[in-house]
Amino acid sequence: MPPRRVAGIDGTKGGWVVIVLEGGRFVADCLLSSITTGFEQLDDVQVVAIDVPIGYGP
């Protein structure tokens, strides 16, 4: 079985910061600039962990 791809996501004022790991090793990072993204960029990731921002928004 190939190593799992895991994405850690955290909300910021500019959108979502994403870190992707594969087999526990860094693969990529990015900023998804729209807070309303559908996360289509992560279609090859098996596990997604989202840090829910408290106090974000209007």
Q: What is the C-alpha to C-alpha distance for residues 43 and 4, in angstroms, rounded to an integer?
A: 13
Beta strands in 13-58 (DSSP E): 15-22, 25-32, 47-51
Instruction: Quote the pLDDT of residue 35.
Output: 75
pTM: 0.78
Instruction: Quote the pLDDT of residue 57.
Output: 64
Instruction: Quote the pLDDT of residue 28.
Output: 96
Instruction: Quote the pLDDT of residue 3.
Output: 81
Residue ranges in the chain modelled with pLDDT below 50? none
